[in-house]
Amino acid sequence: MSITAAGRVVRLEDVADRPLLADLAQAADPHARYDALRSRWGAVAPVDLEPGVPAWLALGYDEVSAVLRDEVHFTREFGRWRYEAERLIAWRSPVRAVLAARDALLDRDGAEHRRLRGPVQDALATLEDKRLTRTVAVACTSALDRAAARGSADLIADYAVDVPVRVLADLLGMNLADARRMHELSVVLGAGGDDAADAADETENLLATFVAARRAEPGDDLASGLIADPRHQHDLEVMGAVGALFRTAHDATIAASATAIHRIVTDPGFGSRLHGGRLSLEDALDEIARRDPPMPHLLPRYAVTDTVLGNQPIAAGDAVVPAVAAANADGAVQAVDPWEQVDSRFHLTWGLGAHSCPAHRTAPLMTRLIVGHVVARVGSIETAAAPDRVPLVRSAWFRYPRELPVRFR
């Protein structure tokens, strides 16, 4: 396993100053960090998934696209990762808890992946826009009315998190307490701390209990549809489908909504473009998703054979993380005039290829509805803290503000 740097070939593990992936995601200016990596390494750079566990970070648009599309040279199958196959990573390692997907949907390729992805896609296809719009509207109105009555709120915890969790509970047929616990466990897993393995275990147990309960008493919900789908061979696959659907919609919607709400509430210039009619809400959200994607880094792909990516040699078994945030900002695909980028839809925020986001229609619609309700009331909302001091949720995989204290006038 080697890379070319300054005319020398060196082993990836011998690079002494590999940046931590979570630090890149949490940087005040992540694009400056990506640019620095590009200047030194090119379109593919070395990083650490956790201290001492190296991987490649694909930074270029073409390189990220290739990794996401090419199932011949790159796979999502976790067992192909060299650090897993050679037992180089601790069994209860935080990053292993995240990457060792316990739902086969995220850990298969080819025909097996298509079999497992089909039920999720079909379940989402049955979700009518009218039902989703009504469910989201009720949750949004209730949350904002409660906040306005109190006179203050944290627009992240009390709204950008609360609403998607309530909506997902309703759509899946899950009780609100379990949905809230799923949210908490997702945050713990994303943080990649010492409690990540325990969170993965608890998530699996929660899903097992939930699927058993829905099988005993099915209803008019997405989970019951997944349970009834004959393509699932056993409940472990159903659990994986429910977990993947929840996490995909949860992470994407919360991060996208929270980031957009923070931008609209705290950036008068951006807000004036939106409120003045020069930028539609859909275009505003697309601009935000391109510049600050909810998932800046997608889960790794693993090299099937020795190959080359962006002029960097990649050894069989290496992990390659697609950095969609960096790819979206790649100068090779950026227009000189930023206004030309509006409505271009060229970005990779929702992924590409066989493993693209299965909720690519549902999550953006939920986000647009959630943000739209805030836009309608933004004249009565003012921030209660300096915008540049708002901390971020700790994660290598998603990026959004941890809190946004506001007052209602």
In what helix (H) or strand (E) does residue 407 lie, and over which residues does it extend? strand 405-408
Tell me what pLDDT residue 6 has.
43
Q: What pLDDT is attached to residue 106?
A: 80
Going by C-alpha positions, the residue among 310, 316, 382, 284 that lies closest to residue 44 is 310
Pairing of strands 8-11, 2-5: antiparallel
Question: Which amino acid type is present at position 165?
Answer: V
Please give the average per-residue pLDDT across 376-397, as a whole number.
84
CA distances from 27 to 290, 317, 368 (A): 17, 29, 26
Beta-bridge mates of residue 11: 2
Report the pLDDT value the prediction gives residue 8, as an integer from 0 to 100: 43
SS3 of residue 303 by DSSP: strand
pTM: 0.91
Give the pLDDT score at 344.
47
The residues, any chain, with a CB within 8 Å of residue 64's CB and separated by 6 or more, are 58, 322, 323, 324, 326, 327, 348, 352
Lowest average pLDDT, out of 10-24, 47-61, 108-122, 291-305, goes to: 10-24
Whole-angstrom distance, CA of residue 280 vs CA of residue 65: 28
Predicted pLDDT of residue 3? 46
CA nearest 292: which of 335, 332, 255, 325? 325
Sheet of strand 381-383, all strands in order from the earlier edge strand to the far edge = 152-154, 405-408, 381-383
Q: Does residue 397 surpass a pLDDT of 90?
A: yes
Q: What is the pLDDT of residues 115-142, one digit of tens each?
A: 999 999 999 888 888 999 999 999 999 9
- pLDDT over threshold 80, residue 182: yes
What's the chain's average pLDDT?
Answer: 88
- Kindly tell me if the per-residue pLDDT of 7 is higher than 50: no
